[in-house]
Amino acid sequence: MDRRFPFKVLEHIFSFLDVNEDRNSVSMVCKSWFETERRTRKRVFVGNCYAVSPLKVARRFPKMRSLTLKGKPHFADYNLVPDGWGGYAWPWIEAMAARRPLLEEIRLKRMVVTDECLEKIAASFRDFKSLVLTSCEGFSTDGIAAVASTCRKLRDLELRECIVDDLGGDWLTYFPETSTSLASLDFSCLDSEVKLSDLERLLSRSPNLKSLKLNRSVTLDVLASLLRRAPQLVELGTGSFSDELDPEEISKLTKALSELKQLKSLSGLWDLLPEYIPVLYSVCPRLTSLNLSYATVQMPDLIDLLSRCSKLQKLWVMDLIEDKGLKTVALCCKELRELRVFPSGADLDETDVTLTEQGLVSVSEGCQKLESVLYFCVQFTNAALVSIAKNRPNFRCFRLCVMEPFAPDYRTQQPLDEGFKAIVERCKDLRRLSVSGLLTDKAFEYIGVHAKKLRMLSIAFAGDSDLMLHHLLSGCERLKKLEIRDCPFGDTALLENAAKLETMRSLWMSSCFVSFGACKQLSQKMPRLNVEVIDEHPPKTRPDSSPVERIYIYRTVAGPRQDTPEFVWTIHKNPEVGVSRLSIR
Amino acid sequence: MELDLDLSLSPHTNSSKFGFCFDLNKHCATEGMLVEVVHYEKTKQTRFESMFWLDNMEEDCYVPKPCSFSLNGQPDEEDEDPLESDSTIVDDEEEDGEVVGWPPIKSCMTKYHNYRHSRNHPYHHHGRRINIPNPTATIIGLRPSSSSTSSPRSSMYVKVKMDGVAIARKVDIKLFNSYESLTNFLITMFTQYQNCDREDTSYKFTFQGKEGDWLLLGDVPWKIFAESVHRISIIRDCPCAYTRLLF
């Protein structure tokens, strides 16, 4: 007797599932659940654009309204992936345009997006609402103009840290005079000036605009006028904050900012001058997110500002904050969940910046809700790491960048093994970890044993031998992304743990000791992995023993990709090597 | 005496009056171009010319051409045989002679830092020495003593490569005052985290001076060495886990 739920009932139940991980699990129960789930999924996420073909994705999810894609590996952010490697958005845009014209949202990260892509988006999706490009490149302001002018229902247009061929500020004029739907606009990564009058008019007719992030070319003297036209803003990224204002202008700006009653997030603040800090006082008490990465003010001024931000949950700041400033944060910002401290290069200005491990210890003591940290520091100690771990077992993301490679604990001269051991032992929910400083294989043994929920791990200049990799691949059960640079391990660990790689999204290794022969072997052994050897200057001949510059390994059901450049080697480029020795285990 | 060299240097500087040599460890990035900071210390004009391919060198005036330099490419040069390299300068657009992508900072932020430290920044202090490398690429190097941030201005970083170790290191020569202190430190640094018995191994130190020749440490007096050393190479007689992977 057929005991299955009627399709409609199942469909209704599944409509409550919005986490894709749950949906993935649900779709593996049985065929009818798979079918029902796929017909109801609206938001599709593809973590590696080469893991699956665009066509398959388009076919599988007929109700797709939102597509998120990621292209290049994370280390591309730090120039470790040569230009031209890949990550092209076009095949995806083309496939969706043909099959899913009702698509409303496209979010791309680290992909190559051309003006052609943007024009295709504009032309193909009549209800298109949201375009969010993060760390993308390959397009110009012409492409942006195409989207702005054609997508009548455009709600979000966000360019986050993209590299754009900036042909001028005209693109802003392409928003039709009749469009009033804009809710989020981020052009902070563009260089050129937009015309004030165009921007003012756009703001005036966009009552739904909640998030506005200006670029540095928008000068301080016009900010007040802009803000008066958008008092409903929840997120504001200012332009430059260093131009000279007369007292009247300052007073107008202060008033305009105080009118932003809903403002929760503040960023931009390029070259913030200390004398303008009082202007921000009125918004501080409401702020939950503050990005001071470009605010070049010193510690006393930062304290002045931060001591007023009692509701702050997210703080990004430069090391100019120093230990003393972080102590203030620990005292005043009790709601803090995320902290990022970036290096300012201040030592080059001959200014004394005392940011040490103590700063992070203070914050870990004072901020009970702290769960995500990115901290750049010159050197560190095991004792500090142990304290931090004791104070904050609730870390989910812990990224420490000790900037001096191989730096041991500067007090004891020991490796930082014990410190990171404390972190992984205590922080049972740790999902993301970046390690640095002097580390031996022991550190990775600890990580393998304790970091059971770890999904992403980044390692640089660490370890002693193959054991390091072996510990990680055999220990970290939930590991999905592993990226390693400049570590002395080689082939054995990689080949022994080959099966693990199919359970992961990707593995990146650069400047390690992996030989070309091992790459070939791995490719032959694991047909469902794409093993890419990326050598910027590929040698004419490659003996099996020669070490490779970079390897990028990822699981895929799409087979070998067809768009590899010259400098990417895969086994499929040498079919005579691959086919004859394919072994199926 | 030191001269700050930047792009707007007057063409009337009399280069024959001052000798100069380049301190290859210091250079700055200005809007994507690298310009060497020149220290006037020696009269080695012809060497200067040949090293930097300045075609228009004349007796009485020069305008330095901005060109991109790197010291030696990436530190993990396990493939390069130091005795065979014929040039001290490798033209490499990516490299500043320091590590690519380290510390890991995104390009938008590096771009901003470069802008801050460049001449175009409204608060750039004119007349101050421009000696600011890309902040994403600073290796401070191990020091025999603890903490204190040493200013890179009064230091001289030299790349040291030990046979069998993938990753070359940089040390500040100015922290030492004798060959013995330097060699002891280097041996300690490299054997710290490797399985080599220090006592059993014999080390051979060679260095490459500004002229490109490889000499044994001790061939020249310390003072001259400290001023002219460009690279150091250590060959040792010790079977090590790494060596088998290199050949």
What interhelical angle do A196-204 and A220-228 show, nearest 10? 20
Task: Evaluate whether A491 touches A518 at the Cβ level (below 8 Å).
Answer: yes
Mean pLDDT across B97-102: 74
Kindly report the pTM of this predicted structure: 0.75
pLDDT interval class at B189 (50, 70, 90):
confident
- Residues of chain A contacting residue B136, judged by C-beta atoms under 8 Å apart: 78
Residues B157-236, CATH architecture: Roll (3.10)
Q: What is the pLDDT of residue B1?
A: 43
| Size (chain B), residues | 247
Q: What is the pLDDT of residue B72?
A: 33
Q: What is the pLDDT of residue B137?
A: 33
List the domain boundaries for chain B.
157-236
Locate the chain A residue with the closest alpha carbon to B164: A488
| Centroid of chain to Cα B114 | 20
Task: Evaluate whether A573 touches A538 at the Cβ level (below 8 Å).
Answer: no
Is some CB atom of chain B closer than 8 A to the CB atom of A166? no
For residue A486, give every residue at least 6 positions away whose Cβ sits within 8 Å of its Cβ, in sequence order, or none: A405, A460, A461, A510, A511, A512, B75, B76, B99, B166, B167
Measure the CA–CA gap between A84 and A555, rounded to whole angstroms: 21
Q: What is the pLDDT of residue A583?
A: 37
For residue A104, give every residue at least 6 positions away whose Cβ sits within 8 Å of its Cβ, in sequence order, or none: A65, A66, A125, A127, A128, A129, A130
* Tokens linked to A62: 């007929």
Residue spans of chain A under pLDDT 50: 1, 578-585
| Residue A423 DSSP code | H
Give the N- to C-terminal CA distance of chain B in Å, as an integer. 47
Q: A140 vs chain B: nearest CA distance in angstroms?
A: 17
Q: What is the pLDDT of residue A291?
A: 98
Checking DSSP bridges between strand A372-377 and strand A338-342, what pairing results, if any? parallel
Residue B98 has pLDDT above 80, yes or no: no
| Chain B 9-48, residues with CB within 8 Å of chain A CB atoms | none
Q: What is the pLDDT of residue B67?
A: 33
Residue B7 has pLDDT above 90, yes or no: no
Q: B227 vs chain A: nearest CA distance in angstroms?
A: 23
Cis? peptide before A91, omega within 30° of 0: no
Is some CB atom of chain B closer than 8 A to the CB atom of A478? no
| Chain A 101-120, residues with CB within 8 Å of chain B CB atoms | none
| Residue A112 DSSP code | B
User: Which residue type sits at B167?
Assistant: I
For residue range B110-169, list pLDDT tens digits in order: 888 887 777 555 554 322 322 333 333 333 333 233 333 333 335 677 878 887 665 667
**Contact (CB<8Å) B245/A407:** no
pLDDT interval class at B51 (50, 70, 90):
very low
Q: What is the pLDDT of residue B238?
A: 55
For residue A448, give every residue at least 6 positions away whose Cβ sits within 8 Å of its Cβ, in sequence order, or none: A471, A472, A474, A475, A476
Q: What is the pLDDT of residue A575?
A: 61
| Centroid of chain to Cα A56 | 26
Q: What is the pLDDT of residue A65?
A: 97
For residue A236, which of A226, A245, A246 has the smallest C-alpha distance? Answer: A226
For residue A506, which of A63, A71, A133, A162 has the smallest C-alpha distance? Answer: A71
Is some CB atom of chain B closer than 8 A to the CB atom of A231? no
Measure the CA–CA gap between B140 and B34, rounded to whole angstroms: 20
- Residues of chain B contacting residue A403, judged by C-beta atoms under 8 Å apart: 102-103, 138, 140
Task: Evaluate whether B91 touches B70 at the Cβ level (below 8 Å).
Answer: yes
Task: Evaluate whether A568 touches A532 at the Cβ level (below 8 Å).
Answer: yes
Question: Which residue in A403, A486, A547 is closest to B103 by CB distance?
Answer: A403
DSSP secondary structure of A341-361? EE---GGGGT------HHHHH
User: Which residue type sits at A576?
Assistant: E
Locate the chain A residue with the closest alpha carbon to B77: A511
| Chain A 185-224, residues with CB within 8 Å of chain B CB atoms | 189
Q: What is the pLDDT of residue B235?
A: 83
Q: B219 vs chain A: nearest CA distance in angstroms?
A: 31
**Contact (CB<8Å) A464/B194:** yes
Q: What is the pLDDT of residue A354?
A: 85
Measure the CA–CA gap between A260 and A235, rounded to whole angstroms: 10
Whether the predicted interface score ipTM is above 0.95? no
